[in-house]
Amino acid sequence: SNNIVVAIDGYSSCGKSTMAKALAKALHFIYVDSGAMYRAVALYFLRNNVDLKNADQVKEALKNVHLNFHSRDYQTHITLNDEEVSEEIRQMHVSDMVSSVAALHDVRVEMVKQQQRMGRSKNVVMDGRDIGTVVFPHAQVKIFMTADPKIRAERRYKELAPKNPEITLEEVFESLAHRDYQDTTRAESPLTRADDAIILDNTDLTPEEQLEFAISKVKPFL
């Protein structure tokens, strides 16, 4: 097939989804937030007390997880067994355990399969940790995003603070650092830059500048 895939990978909270959404909107591509899928699985496991060390339990639980995206307005609307969970999956209790769930072999196999299906015949922008390395190694455009860890923590803190007055910037910083550590050091599909990915450090870039950069990379394939 000759559909275009844009793979956007990088660390936690460095603006991947903001840029991916804007890009998808500008190009009329489908946007897929792969992290939301791992978060929804983590939420299900949390609610059902799935023992992550028990592979049989994990396999059984996965059979009962049905995810669907409704990307009406290029925002992430995801349902877990028909329940809208888009907000809950952003909460700290999910963020703090999602990387342990995402490190599990069976979880990754299932998610990657679903992600590949979504990008098989349509133009997509997908963001995550292993999109350019594992999910779509032949993606036409691969962007690896980074930003100063302090800036990333501040951005995430600003998102969380209005609804979580008890949260501190320090906690958010620690939580991000821990997640990045887990994501980059796990055995299976660790977060790493694909050899052919373009690096985008957005510490000092506006959303508009980032979008312009991304569009210029996709243009040759349109």
- Annotated binding-site ranges: 10-18
Residue 128 binds ligand C5P (CB under 6 A) = yes
The region of 53-61, 123-131, 139-147, 207-215 touching ligand C5P under the rule CB under 6 A is 123-131
d(CA 125, CA 127): 7
Residue 102 binds ligand C5P (CB under 6 A) = yes
| 53-91 exposure pattern, b = at least 16 Cβ within 10 A, e = fewer | eeeeebeebbeebebebeeeebebebebeeeebbebbbe
- Identify residues 167-186 at the interface with ligand C5P (CB under 6 A): 179, 183
Read off the tokens for 67: 């995810």
Taking the least distance from each CB to ligand C5P, the nearer of 142 and 179 is 179
Selected from 7, 14, 21, 34, the binder of ligand C5P by CB under 6 A is 34
Q: Which amino acid is at 98?
A: V
27, 216 contact by CB (below 8 A): no
Q: Where are the alpha helices (DSSP H) in 65-168?
A: 92-102, 105-118, 149-160
Residue 38 binds ligand C5P (CB under 6 A) = yes
Contacts with ligand C5P: how many residues (CB under 6 A)?
14
Selected from 5, 6, 7, 12, the binder of ligand C5P by CB under 6 A is 12
- Identify residues 60-99 at the interface with ligand C5P (CB under 6 A): 98-99
The region of 31-39, 78-86, 158-166, 199-207 touching ligand C5P under the rule CB under 6 A is 31-39
Q: Which amino acid is at 177?
A: A
